[in-house]
Amino acid sequence: MPLQIDQFMCRSDNFGVLVHDPDTGETAVIDAPEERPILEAVERTGWRPTLLLVTHHHADHVEANLALKERFGLAIVGPAAEADRIPGIDRKVGEGDRIAFAGRDIEVIETPGHTAGHVSYHFPRDRLAFTADTLFALGCGRLFEGKPATMLASLKKLAALPLDTVIYCGHEYTQSNARFALSVDPTNSALKERAKEIDALRAGGRPTLPTRLDVEMATNPFLRWHDPVIRRNLGMEDASDEAVFAEIRKRKDVF
């Protein structure tokens, strides 16, 4: 049977996610932003967590690590590069490592830029990826601990995944990301259409995530550094990928 996923809000705009395999009963938690909503999701679904996959050290991703470990005795996996800042970490992982979960392998992709050690988790068999604060719907994470080139290299790795990969992200930022995306890519009809759908979802109090890689490739300016129209809008037709990406990121920081 396919994996089952429960996505729910934590704090103000963080997503919590449980990934459950009905065949084995195993359940993975993706990041631990806040204890109470995670416990409510466990209660609601009846899925007892066995594994916690941590993407990066920020407090809004690790706050409930120790509480979940104490309650469920789950194993905590997190980035080796920032292991000293991941409470309760049991296994330190990096690029290409594989984590056994419910009879399949989860693949670790190092995606630094937002933090220096940020990792994403890819479930190749299930066409799923959890990109936390690296790739957002219509956006990408702020560069707190990386240069534009670092984040661009991370996004290029994610862009190379199969196009039908379903993407879960760390925050519900999509509506404001859409406004920014339209400012650099105002004539993109797929983006205009998507912005309307996002407004409708948010007006109904519904999440805009997950997204899909092909949708992001067509509409997310942070994956479209190569696009001639965006380049023309920025006056950067002949610039490098890195320069175009850096300019888009810089504009978003002050948008």
In whole angstroms, give the CA distance from residue 224 to residue 111: 18
Rounded least distance, CB 185 to Fe ion, Å = 25
Rounded least distance, CB 55 to Fe ion, Å = 8
Kindly list the distances between the CA atom of residue 152 and the CA atoms of 134, 135, 149, 185, 250, in Å, as whole numbers in the listed order: 10, 10, 5, 19, 13
* 31 scored as a contact of Fe ion (CB under 5 A): no
By beta-carbon proximity to Fe ion, the closer residue of 2 and 144 is 144
User: Which listed range, 14-22, 102-110, 133-141, 148-156, lies at the site for Fe ion (CB under 5 A)?
Assistant: 133-141
Strand partners of residue 106: 99
Kindly list the distances between the CA atom of residue 27 and the CA atoms of 53, 62, 108, 140, 153, in Å, as whole numbers in the listed order: 11, 18, 18, 27, 31
In whole angstroms, give the CA distance from residue 108 to residue 249: 25
The answer to whether residues 121 and 128 touch, using CB atoms and an 8 Å cutoff, is no
Return the residues of window 209-238 that contact Fe ion according to CB under 5 A: none
Q: Mask of contacts with Fe ion, 84-123, x by CB under 5 A? A: ----------------------------------------
Q: Mask of contacts with Fe ion, 45-74, x by CB under 5 A? A: -------------x----------------
By beta-carbon proximity to Fe ion, the closer residue of 133 and 216 is 133
Strand, coil or helix: 2: coil
Find the length of the chain: 255
User: Which listed range, 40-48, 73-81, 131-139, 216-224, lies at the site for Fe ion (CB under 5 A)?
Assistant: 131-139
Q: Which two tokens stand for residue 77?
A: 């996996």
Rounded least distance, CB 108 to Fe ion, Å = 18
CB nearest Fe ion: which residue? 58
Q: Which two tokens stand for residue 178?
A: 């859409």
By beta-carbon proximity to Fe ion, the closer residue of 116 and 215 is 116
User: Which listed range, 84-92, 96-104, 130-138, 173-181, lies at the site for Fe ion (CB under 5 A)?
Assistant: 130-138
* 133 scored as a contact of Fe ion (CB under 5 A): yes
Q: Which two tokens stand for residue 15?
A: 């997503």
Closest residue by Cα to residue 131 from 149, 156, 100? 156
In the Cβ-directed half-sphere of 157, how many Cα atoms lie within 13 Å?
22
By beta-carbon proximity to Fe ion, the closer residue of 82 and 133 is 133
Rounded least distance, CB 58 to Fe ion, Å = 4
In whole angstroms, give the CA distance from residue 64 to residue 255: 32
Rounded least distance, CB 4 to Fe ion, Å = 26
Rounded least distance, CB 150 to Fe ion, Å = 15
Which residues are near Fe ion by CB under 5 A? 58, 133
